[in-house]
Structure 1
Amino acid sequence: MMRDITIGQYYPADSILHRLDPRVKFIGTFLFLVSLFVADSFWGYVLATVFLAGIVGLSKVPVKFMLKGLKPLFLIFLITLCFNLFLVPGEVIWEFGFLKLTYEGIQQAIKIGIRLIYLVIGSSVMTLTTTPNQLTDGLERILKPLNKIRVPVHEISMMMSIALRFIPILMEETDKIMKAQIARGADFESGNLIQKAKNLIPLLVPLFISAFRRADDLAMAMEARCYHGGENRTQMKPLAYHARDYWAYAVTLLYLGADIAIRILL
């Protein structure tokens, strides 16, 4: 299960998406997420499917690897679908006690399910094709105007970069600790809910100790290198737009415009 989490991972490949400016991917991902809530008809979701399939194809990331990231969220999907199926009022199709399956509930569940899946895949494309350093630089440049109102943009971007970098590390550490504890006779599956929670103690304690140790090592390394953020800090590879970035903006805006037009007309 831990290896199925793809958020925060970077998949190296030679694709047009990997070479795009991180600001383009940030803004493009945001516009795609907006388009998912604009779409409210069959043709709107068809357009979103075609656009997302094209982006996944251009990324050169294996589809199986990308879909693997949906497994840890299966329970959330299931709960969300059940709430929409039985709690949305409308024309009743099936009824059992206080549970009422409605035609409108089925439609809403399908829409929400598609939005959640596309939201996860769309966000994963950005992180899988962008290194943590690029994400930090891109977010910092996008939020740079907030420096005028004394918002610590660089510190926020650095915290986000470190968090994304630590996700796969902690997942790998959790997997190693879990295997080591199972080899020593630990049981994480049997028992009721309270017993399962108690069984997690041999996993959580060494994981927290390891996380704090890594954080302390990182802080010492940054201090030893005289790291300081904020003004007068330069970048080794300054961000600059190229022709492909402007084309990416144009395609994304064209897609969003077509999605809005479908919403208005249909």
Structure 2
Amino acid sequence: MDLMRSLPIGLYLEQPRTWLHRLDPRTKLVWLMTFLIAPILANNPWRLGLVGLLIFITLTARIPLRVWKQQMGLLLLFCVVLFVMTLVAPDGLVLDHQPRLPAEDVAIAQPYEYVMWQFNFIKVTRLKLDLGIRLSSQIFTLLYSTNLYLLTTASEEITAGLEYIFAPLKRFKLPVTETLLTLTLSLRFIPLVLEEIQNLIRSVRTRAINWKKLGLKQGFQLWLMVSEKLLENLLMRAEQISTAMDIRGFTTPSRHQVQWHQLRLHIWDWIFLFCLVPFWYCRILFGMRLL
């Protein structure tokens, strides 16, 4: 089992370089915040439109099939299962009302129907349909937009973009550079964590342990020992990184000026930033949810 390939969530895709890779990290960060904020108080067609837009961006960027199949495919499957479970589960409302019109007038007027479809004990109502679309689409948008940003943006570019945005906070003597350096190390530490987990799982599998003979108690003790070894290895990796940084002079920002990435807005960055204006105009005009 190769966790670096089977669990690529949060990892940076170095090759091939798509048009998303070439965009400025500040542009991608602004669009990421747009995808995170746009579903708030939005109607269902707009939420489904955001899902379609993310899928369209993934396909046009020509991200390899092995990457988005494991990420977007599994996430789509989870959202579909969540949508179906929401439709099947009871909505908690018991409606028993008397129509205001006679029976012959009800058939002509075609009033609002709360129950849309029913088969035996399965009842699909408008409330469950609305809740299922909102829940599944929002989970997909929040998770996949963030993962797509991490997939096409290196940790150094993320740090450079965030440092540029939060630069005014330095006037209030806030440790912006130190905080962003910690963020960069955290993103760089994800592959190390997966590598340590992968090595420990392989070491357990090569010993051909008979789990049925161990029993529940001894099996739990064995995995507890593996977890302790994992924590020990991760702490050792963290100590090695801190020692290497200390040797190279990473003490204070004044003594070691860190050049993360050269930021430069190109023509496509300005085009995508300009597209935010019609996007939010349509969001306010057509995507607002009626309360």
Q: TM-score, normalised by structure 2?
A: 0.75
Aligned to 1:6: 8
- Identity over aligned pairs, percent: 23
1:176-213 Cα shifts (integer Å, max 9, x gaps): 21121122134679999877654422321221111111
Q: Report if aligned partners of 2:42, 2:287 keep a CA contact under 8 Å in 1.
A: yes
Instruction: Please tell me the residue identity of whatever aligns with 2:286.
Output: I
Residue deviations 1:30-50 (CA, integer Å, cap 9, x gap):
1012122343122x1343134
State the match for 1:246 in structure 2.
270
- Length-normalised TM-score, structure 1: 0.81
| Pair member with larger Rg | 2
Distance in 2 of aligned mates of 1:193 and 1:27: 49
Q: Relative to 1, partners in 2 of residues 1:220 and 1:146: Cα closer, same or farther, differing over 3 Å? A: same
Q: Which residue of 2 aligns with 1:255?
A: 279
Q: Is residue 53 of structure 1 aligned with residue 55 of structure 2? A: yes
Deviation at 1:100, TM superposition (A): 8.9
Report the Cα offset of residue 225 of structure 1: 0.5
The verdict on how the C-alpha distance between 1:174 and 1:115 changes in structure 2, with shifts beyond 3 A counting, is: same
Distance 1:85-1:24 versus aligned 2 partners, 3 A rule: farther
Return the alpha-carbon distance in structure 2 between the equivalents of residues 197 and 118 of structure 1: 37
Cα offset, 1:59, TM superposition: 3.0
Q: Distance in 2 between matches of 1:186 and 1:193?
A: 13
Residue 248 of structure 2 corresponds to residue 222 of structure 1: no
Change (3 A) 1:258 1:137: same
Let me know the Cα RMSD of the aligned residues.
Answer: 3.6
Residue 31 of structure 2: aligned partner:
28
Q: Are the counterparts in 2 of residues 132 and 164 from structure 1 also a CA contact under 8 Å?
A: yes
Could you tell me how far apart the structure 2 residues matched to 1:223 and 1:41 are? 52
CA distance 1:197–1:106, change in 2 (3 Å): farther
Larger deviation, residues 219-228 vs 74-83: 74-83
| Residue 53 to residue 183, structure 1, CA distance change in 2 (3 Å) | same
Q: CA deviation at 1:74?
A: 7.5
- 1:207 aligned residue: 230
Q: Quick one: which amino acid aligns to residue 8 of structure 1?
A: G
Q: Of 161, 167, 170, which residue of structure 1 is paired with 2:190?
A: 167
Contact 1:188 1:199 in 2 (8 A): no
The CA deviation string for residues 112-165 of structure 1, in whole angstroms up to 9 with x for no partner, is: 112112222211111111111111111111111222222211111111111111
With over 3 angstroms needed to count, the CA separation of the structure-2 counterparts of 1:214 and 1:123, relative to structure 1, is same
Q: Could you report, residue by residue, the CA deviation over 1:225-252 in whole angstroms, capped at 9, with x for unpaired residues?
A: 0113435725264312222211111224
Structure-to-structure mapping, 1:1-266, within 5 angstroms: 2=3, 3-12=5-14, 13-42=16-45, 44-69=46-71, 71=74, 86=89, 88-90=91-93, 102-186=125-209, 197-231=220-254, 233-235=257-259, 237-264=261-288
Letter in 1 for 2:266: H
Q: Distance in 1 between matches of 2:174 and 2:84?
A: 39
The 2-side partners of 1:174 and 1:73 are apart by 26
Name the one with the larger helix percent: 1
1:16 Cα offset (Å) = 1.9
Q: CA deviation at 1:11?
A: 0.8
Q: Gaps spanning 5+ residues in structure 2: where?
A: 94-113
Structure 1 regions of 5+ residues with no counterpart? none
